[in-house]
Amino acid sequence: MITVLGASGFIGSHLVKRLQQQNAEFQAIGRDGKIPLSSLGDVIYCIGVTADFRSKPFETVDAHVCTLLGLVRTCRFDSLLYLSSTRLYAKGDSTNEEQPLCASPQHLSDLYNISKLMGESIALHCGSKGRVARIANVYGPDLMSDNFLPSVLRQAVKRETVVLQGAPDSEKDYVGVDVVVDGLLQIATAGEQQIYNLGSGVNVTHRQLAEKLQLLTGCQIEFAPDAPTIKYPEIDIQKMKSEFDYAPSSILDDLPQLVELYEGK
């Protein structure tokens, strides 16, 4: 049996849909739901805070660490898969899963990373089979999210002028939610390693996104004056590709379908 914790969130809700499609045995528990003391089987821990972590530091630590700690202290399970983030690689040169990571408590933006690192450590040393999935920027029908791409898409389909706060050469890795969901289920039920990256393996620049969105929607996209260039390292996905049938698509190829989806809402 699979237990999805954080089942009402973006990734968690898509996990539930996939499990329903597969007629799998599972239970879905929302972020604030009561976790049963009975055996949970293979747990996928999706509880987390994303775009608003800077304004909710205590809630971020609660979600990434404290609730997880309560789970491993009181519940029985066969395995635990903890959802982390490729943001952890931002200050390094390598995105190989085995490399040491760097974070500073003096920087507010690192509170997210530090809390995820603590969550990873708990998951990997919880006494049962613990695994970690470090996930890149997930895209899909996340219509009300305040994350970067959903916000831009909502403005673009309204033909509004979109002002990006990052320079044209800023770049990051985007991965589709369906690819992430299938990857998580593979890791949770058959993963042989401790830590996996889930990304596309190819960075996309703000300029590439802007050009494609302008072509698809007719919107106007501008870049804020003196916008900083923020480049994340390309994500190493060799572990997923070698162990599973992992073949992520490109956000640029999927943009037409995303635009159509957002225009219909």
**Cβ-count burial of 134 within 10 angstroms (0-12 exposed, 13-18 middle, 19+ buried)?**
buried
Residue 37 has pLDDT above 80, yes or no: no
Q: Which residues are 197's β-sheet partners?
A: 134
Both structure tokens of 135: 């996930």
Q: Which residues are 44's β-sheet partners?
A: 4, 81
Mean pLDDT along residues 98-123 = 93
Helical (H) or strand (E) element with 83: strand 79-85
Residue 55's pLDDT is: 84
**Residue, of 144 and 2, whose pLDDT is higher:** 2
pTM: 0.94
Residue 108's pLDDT is: 84
d(CA 157, CA 249): 22
Q: Which residues are 90's β-sheet partners?
A: none
Q: Where are the domains of the chain?
A: 2-263
pLDDT in tens, 134-148: 999 999 987 777 788
Residue 264 has pLDDT above 80, yes or no: no
Q: Which residues are 153's β-sheet partners?
A: none
Mean pLDDT along residues 5-33 = 93
Residue 92's pLDDT is: 84
Average pLDDT over the chain, rounded to an integer:
93
Q: How many CB atoms lie within 10 A of CB 233?
A: 17
Please state whether 110 falls in left (phi above 0), alpha (psi between -120 and 50) or beta: alpha
Mean pLDDT along residues 249-265 = 90
How far is CA 236 from each of CA 98, 112, 195, 200, rounded to the nearest angstrom?
Answer: 11, 21, 12, 9
d(CA 165, CA 201): 24
Q: Which residue has the tokens 């809700």?
A: 13
Residue 265's pLDDT is: 65
Residue 184 has pLDDT above 70, yes or no: yes
d(CA 111, CA 45): 19
Best-predicted range by mean pLDDT among 55-59, 66-70, 92-96?
66-70
Domain 2-263 homologous superfamily, CATH: NAD(P)-binding Rossmann-like Domain (3.40.50.720)
pLDDT in tens, 217-231: 999 999 999 999 999
Both structure tokens of 31: 């972020």
% of the chain beyond a pLDDT of 90: 79
Residue 20 has pLDDT above 90, yes or no: yes
Residue 110's pLDDT is: 92
Residue 230's pLDDT is: 92
pLDDT in tens, 42-55: 999 999 988 778 88
